[in-house]
Amino acid sequence: MPSVEKDHELCVLANKLRDLDVSSRDARNVRNRIKQVLHSHRRSLADLNVDPFALESSHWDLQSLPVSGALMNLEALEEVLVIPDAHLELLLQPILSCVRDLWPSIISWLDFLHPMHRVGTPRMQLAPLETITRLISSLFTLKGSLPDLFADTPRIYRLIFDLWVRFDIYCDMPRMNDTLHACVGRLGYAVLGYAIWQPDKEMDGGATMEMDKRTEDSVALHALLGVVRYRRRFLYRQIVRQSHILLRLSVSGNAVRNDIILQNQLAILGVLSERLLSIPHYPREVVSRLVRIIQELLTVTGGPAIAHTATSALHSMWRTAGDRCSLVWSLRAGVLPAILTLREIEPIRHSANSLGLISLEAMSVDVLRALDSSGRALDIAGGVLGLDEKPLERKIQAEINQNLRDRIALIRSLYKKTCAYRLCISSVEQARATLRRCSCQTVCYCCKQCQRRDWPTHRRACRENQVIATHGDIAPLDAHFLMLCGRARLRSLAPDILAEISRLPVAAPDVPPCFHVVLDFGVIPPAMPEVSVMGASDTQEAMVWVTSFLHLPTRDAAVRAMYIPVRMLAAF
């Protein structure tokens, strides 16, 4: 039987199986026939035996008989790979044997037909994008059964990742039909479920094995980075930009259709940022666009479930970034109201984790300013969960909100972005463009002349506000704010601290002791201070050394808030 007829027969048989019960006689007869065709693949799929890269250049227009024959062979093979799982299990060994024998030819033809060779040319429209996308995605479902072939063929990773990263270039996105949209979804499923992970005996389906138990495939990640020329920031920009495109394609009327396509895209973003390809500084465009995606998803039916995945990806970026810029940009873009809305719609852990991280980072001046600009900072406690995974008590919620309110008020009163010299003649716009903060962090000046002229007035306050004994990774402005928060809290807790000091045993009553008070701002509301005997005082009277401490999952920091005689506590 000619190869073309065998192609057609395989397609017909595969389609027929979709409507048959797996245990029926007709199904067994169809499966037996498929096995016979696959066993004779050297005849039934003979067109794949031609080396495409040995053909003359005229064949690159994809209109010749050898190319058409190979394309039909690939389509027939793909039809077999996507038959229902119940039938596929019974045909798995013949399929694996066929794919293994034809593997070099399959990869060569996929490479030859790939649209990356025709970008920017009239031939681009002739590329069989649907067939290539479907077959590559289907082949990756066999990765756990053919691990050696995938390990020895880095080229297949380049083929799938190039399609996935650049599908907006290869497809006419505004006019993409439902078929191509589904193909993009299959690409995302193959990447998330198989391509980026090492083969595992439990890896029998994209959603059956927990993500945190999988091991990354270094060959695949190397190929992914190679596709984007090792520009990780570009990769993140591209993923989020395409996610936004997929969102617009998925929304029909006031509801989301084919939500799994966008869900997979955002899940890949989360996995890459959390475990596989995290970077210290995520692009602002990525963060802002991801926030817009969350906001848009909250306006359509079916969107909140996908918004949780987007929020989780954003949370991963906050955690793995080397700075707080991504968190600050997110807050300024309005992510907090979106998360609080999402928390009200579907109160699951993702939103609580994000709100908890925001509250922990709320000892940083830039984060507090961003919270203040969001307009919803005082509502954050309602969505935070306690250690027992349950919502916090109303009393504790009120304390958290009040604590944030006090911190924001302190920042507003302290860190004004105007020239501190009251006789400054510069306009507000001119002064703001050249403002520089004094080393004490409390005032700014627009020029050195204004700083010199204001020095007689500012001298004493400057010396009192210098940060001393800083420990850990903390910015100067945050260190100063941590010091002032410690002083403010010490004043409010002075009676309690004095009572605790009176109960502490002193080793040598005739030697003035030095007490150590630790104020932990790593939790909201701050816990009661720890008071202990530090040793002997270096003066003639008992002293108190006050440390403002900040313990976060990613860093610890501490500053000396005060060093004063014990008797001065009574004056507070």
**Which domain-ending residue is among 204, 229, 254?**
229
Residues 424 and 322 in one domain: no
Question: Which of 256-260, 264-268, 384-388 has the largest mean confidence?
Answer: 264-268
* 120 and 223 part of one domain: yes
- Where is mean pLDDT largest: 16-25, 81-90, 280-289, 348-357? 280-289
What's the pTM value of the predicted model, to 2 decimals? 0.86
Q: What is the pLDDT of residue 26?
A: 92
pLDDT at 388: 44
pLDDT in tens, 180-203: 778 889 999 999 999 999 986 555
In this structure, the answer to whether residues 331 and 393 fall within a common structural domain is yes
Residue 135: phi and psi, rounded to 5, are -70, -45
DSSP per residue over 421-479, as a string?
A: -TT--S-HHHHHHH-EE-TTSS-EESSHHHHHHHHHHHHHHHHHT--EEEEES--HHHH
Which of 276 and 388 is assigned the larger pLDDT?
276
Q: Please tell me the predicted confidence (pLDDT) of residue 7.
A: 67
- The answer to whether residues 10 and 34 touch, using CB atoms and an 8 Å cutoff, is yes
DSSP string, 486-532: HHHHHHHHHHHHHHHHHHS--S-TTS-EEEEEEEE-SSSSPPPPEEE
pLDDT of 207 over the 60 cut: no
Give tens-digit pLDDT for 468-499.
877 888 888 999 999 999 998 999 899 999 99
Domain match, 345 and 430 both: no
Q: What is the mean pLDDT of residues 88-114?
A: 95
Contact 343, 379 (CB under 8 A): no
Give yes or no: residues 427 and 479 share one domain.
no
Using the predicted structure, report yes or no on whether residue 205 has a pLDDT greater than 60.
Answer: no
Mean pLDDT of the chain: 87
pLDDT at 120 over 80: yes
Q: Do residues 121 and 109 share a domain? A: no
Q: Are residues 369 and 269 in the same domain?
A: yes
Domain containing 449 equals: 415-466
Give the residue-averaged pLDDT of 400-421.
85
Confidence of residue 208 (pLDDT cuts 50, 70, 90): very low
Q: Which two tokens stand for residue 41?
A: 């693949």
Q: Residue 384: which pLDDT band, with cuts at 50, 70 and 90? A: low
User: What's residue 350's pLDDT?
Assistant: 67
- Return the pLDDT at 2: 46
Last residue of a domain, one of 196, 212, 229: 229
Name which of 210-219, 422-431, 453-462, 482-491 the model is least confident about: 210-219
Q: Do 323 and 400 reside in the same domain of the chain?
A: yes
Total domains in the fold of the chain = 5
Q: Lowest-pLDDT range, 19-23, 375-379, 505-509?
A: 375-379
More confident site: 3 or 474: 474
